[in-house]
Structure 1
């Protein structure tokens, strides 16, 4: 995938300088670049992770190096095999592969922090022997209080200077499971007066008596992220450990751990370089795992893959393509400054890609019946319709035309205003690909609602020809045969939140306000009576549609937007999800203020 090749940013320049200077190998050797994507398997990936995935894998590819997929599975309390499998699926869906990846076995080549638990233990023992780590018997509350405050030094633990042999013995008893959870921890001995809180004797290990999804009951202590992170990178030969900005203050600790381990070693561990970049903050959404979990748990959405969720699974189910997500990540670039990105940029990336590749189909979402009085009863004519005006190789399809059709209810007005160019009594419109149509009567039910239009067509305009007399017709409507059309449920999805930044309380909001109060009540419209052209009930291969690698069928419903078949759809009950509208309606709302 060469999509990142033309990107220029500070990370790329840093790597180029390292290569030129021979920091990781022979000067000029670009293949030495090693990056990694290290998610914790405690939830589903979201669009913010997609930026990190594209960045790490993209840089490795650009320089001819490699990028590992490694799980930071150091907390068995929150982790699950389900999340491991979903993350692997998401990374593969985005189009990336890691060293050793296999198409037959998705897990092949995937790495885990738990692969290195023994090494982490041995290095911890080494630090204890060097007098650089100790077992602390204080409670979590006492440790927290002892860390001090900004500008106020912390207080040394009363166990900070306990004998090395005693700490060694206690640590092995911790490992053996002889102490209860929360009773002891292993801490690094650094500087309780450091202005950087991360350096105030951070915890390296805590006791957790829970089975691990890979190692089972083999361990009763588990490493903290800061202790594990650098060692994992070191073992894997990572050259550039790329993190988001919140880890900038953790970098001194990352370096301290590796330098301390290497002190006195005849064969020093590899010491990677940690570099930070600004994470993706997307408008009109939340990406906190806690908040996303709350949305799911409280059933504000239908699950982690609800098409309104910012998870990669949600975007996939909504019909976004991997190409459009990668294009968006490339478009927003890389910097060291946090900013709020307009989701319209992601939507536009999706529109641009689907416009080029998605076949066009006609779908009437809110049908109004039309009877063409001068068209023969029982006759079906097939009209050629273009599959994709952006791609001539997509060819054409046959669409059935009958005496009875459906048009959109919104395409008729009984008393239309001057600039309404669609159908009304005595008005003429063009039926796409077919002919000119004139309304002669609106039939109403007992309540006065229009339920049927009686019309006539102009035979001389059949097949989309212009009328011989040269009259101009401005409106063009899509339609579906009432005889051949298929019934479907259509779900029109929109942004889940109605304000740009639901993570912050709006000015003037009550004290009880929460992000849940910003949920958009119109984020989902379910239309149960839509009618689609019959090609959408056929095998996509027989309809000359693209062979989507992820198996998700995507089309443009003409005049409506881009749609995809839902994962819960069945032939008996087809369900289509709106991926994105044809135009950015939110941009107009923003302009109005």
Structure 2
């Protein structure tokens, strides 16, 4: 785990410290309770980070509990992926539970509520329940089945469990207050019928508890002291407390809410990510343009950079939108220290050095990192023909970016100085190659306009570069317009270029700083062409984009 720990002055920590001082608890217990209906995203990691580090700071424990109460959505592959992500991020979780571990106990608590006249079996369908519940402006009205006898409710609930009714034909509802200003408290559903095989309990059950009913009971059974969640569950706290107050259970955890993570130009909702996949706007859950952990890992983000980001954003009650640059700075800080330097040409144009012999070849030994000498050295080769990036040359003067033009003197990084003589174009007027002359690199009095990167034509490897930009054009993609209307059509651009021959031994997952371009991760190697495929992790600071 990264050495960074959660902000010592956040409001949740103060609450816990006060509880311990008053000896309300002997040991702090928190939990991270993901629903395995999708992959972890950065918002989940914020929650895990808070729960894990608060427990760690106070010598407590943090459980992971998979909320598998809805068999229609959960999948084994999601559980496997979440476990993998948690381990990859460096969180050492000893206790892993499932809501399904408590299905029988939760069922018995439902029976207890029925016996206390605090729950009833309802025959209204979902549309009718919604209509009866009312709105923020109109009060709810009682279901015609609200006042069944205890015996009738017990009998019907047992028959629901035995599979004697169709899905949607019956449900169990809490009997609270249909006049409550909080809609959630207007007789919420506690159990529903679902004929779907469960990944843990198979076909043992055909009725399943709703999240609000199972979650608080699971917290209490695990002796969680502080149930920490995001602000969208603030109204659910009323139901959380009502359930625990009205069942015979020893522990009564308290719920505390913090702001949900929102990052500009991004979404962090499994429902909307699924929509993007179905509409083929993104490929899968590991698409590098979204902020799932699998996507960030594929793009080249490191565990340390993600943990560093979580430590910087802090814990507040105020919803806000975090700038994407904060996340990018975290990965830059990590990769700047830990990634070797190399050169890559993303938009190649050929340079011919007219005063260099055809068979001339010089081997240059250069450092892999400007500071960290432990990264060693590598060999690059200098020949008559080299590639440079076409954006480093303009045949017409452009002072805005200080591009070299014909007659200018430039320096090749780690090599020689050259003078641009003339250009050769094709019939379309496109630059085909540039003719230059070479001057010795040791001439200190030689004045040049710019230092540029390059690779030898003879000693280069073909490569593809996946250049990622923000997925959406709007800071808040979900505001006003439809999500799909805000998609950036240039969020992915693929370029064909070259990298140094030294990368022929590169392994998938290796990360590099391509000098003057940015940080890249080797994603895969094409079977047929043997091309290396690199994903752009992030641009360098103050580097104008050239895609």
- The TM-score by the shorter chain falls in which range? over 0.9
Alpha-carbon deviation of 1:419? 6.7
Q: Secondary structure at the match of 1:566?
A: strand
Alignment of 1:24-173 (within 5 A): 24-25=25-26, 32-99=27-94, 109-150=95-136, 152-173=138-159
1:36/1:56 contact within 8 Å kept: yes
Q: Which residue of 2 aligns with 1:531?
A: 498
1:234/1:269 contact within 8 Å kept: yes
Q: Which residue of 2 aligns with 1:566?
A: 523
Q: Secondary structure at the match of 1:377?
A: coil
Give the counterpart of 1:474 among 424, 442, 449.
Answer: 449
Q: Which residue of 1 aligns with 2:163?
A: 177
Aligned length: 543
Q: Secondary structure at the match of 2:134?
A: coil
Alignment of 1:167-316 (within 5 A): 167-262=153-248, 268-316=249-297
Give the counterpart of 1:355 among 311, 326, 336.
Answer: 336
2:410 is the alignment partner of 1:452 = no
Q: Secondary structure at the match of 2:234?
A: helix
Q: Which residue of 1 aligns with 2:514?
A: 557
CA 535–585 in structure 1, closer or farther in 2 if over 3 Å, else same:
closer
Alpha-carbon deviation of 1:215? 1.2
1:422/1:476 contact within 8 Å kept: no
Q: Which residue of 2 aligns with 1:495?
A: 470
Q: Distance in 1 between matches of 2:368 and 2:175?
A: 68
Q: Secondary structure at the match of 1:447?
A: coil
1:463-490 superposed Cα distances (whole Å, 9 cap, x missing partner): xx3x15x232231011101001000111
Alpha-carbon deviation of 1:422? 4.6
Q: Distance in 2 between matches of 1:84 and 1:368?
A: 48
1:422/1:429 contact within 8 Å kept: no
1:152-185 superposed Cα distances (whole Å, 9 cap, x missing partner): 4422223222221221111111111111111111
Give the counterpart of 1:582 among 520, 530, 540.
Answer: 540
1:139-163 superposed Cα distances (whole Å, 9 cap, x missing partner): 2222222223335442222322222
Q: Distance in 2 between matches of 1:179 and 1:49?
A: 37
CA 202–433 in structure 1, closer or farther in 2 if over 3 Å, else same:
same
Scaled by the length of structure 1, the TM-score of the pair is: 0.87
Q: Distance in 2 between matches of 1:236 and 1:187?
A: 25
Q: Secondary structure at the match of 2:65?
A: strand
Stretch moving more, 192-201 or 355-364: 192-201
Stretch moving more, 364-373 or 562-571: 562-571
CA 34–585 in structure 1, closer or farther in 2 if over 3 Å, else same:
farther
CA 412–12 in structure 1, closer or farther in 2 if over 3 Å, else same:
same
Q: Distance in 1 between matches of 2:401 and 2:307?
A: 40
Gaps of 5+ in 2: none
1:430/1:437 contact within 8 Å kept: yes
Q: Distance in 2 between matches of 1:586 and 1:13?
A: 44
Q: Distance in 2 between matches of 1:337 and 1:420?
A: 41
Q: Which residue of 1 aligns with 2:14?
A: 13
2:466/2:494 contact within 8 Å kept: yes
Q: Distance in 2 between matches of 1:135 and 1:418?
A: 77
Q: Distance in 2 between matches of 1:288 and 1:498?
A: 18
Q: Distance in 2 between matches of 1:420 and 1:310?
A: 33
Alpha-carbon deviation of 1:539? 4.2
Q: Distance in 2 between matches of 1:23 and 1:251?
A: 20
Q: Secondary structure at the match of 1:487?
A: strand
Q: Distance in 1 between matches of 2:251 and 2:401?
A: 71
Q: Which residue of 2 aligns with 1:413?
A: 394
Q: Distance in 2 between matches of 1:240 and 1:285?
A: 30
Q: Which residue of 2 aligns with 1:265?
A: none
1:429-462 superposed Cα distances (whole Å, 9 cap, x missing partner): 1111111112223223343332222222223x2x
Q: Distance in 1 between matches of 2:129 and 2:390?
A: 67
Q: Which residue of 2 aligns with 1:483?
A: 458
Alpha-carbon deviation of 1:353? 1.6
1:507-549 superposed Cα distances (whole Å, 9 cap, x missing partner): xxxxxx5221111122111112x11001221146xxxxxxxxx
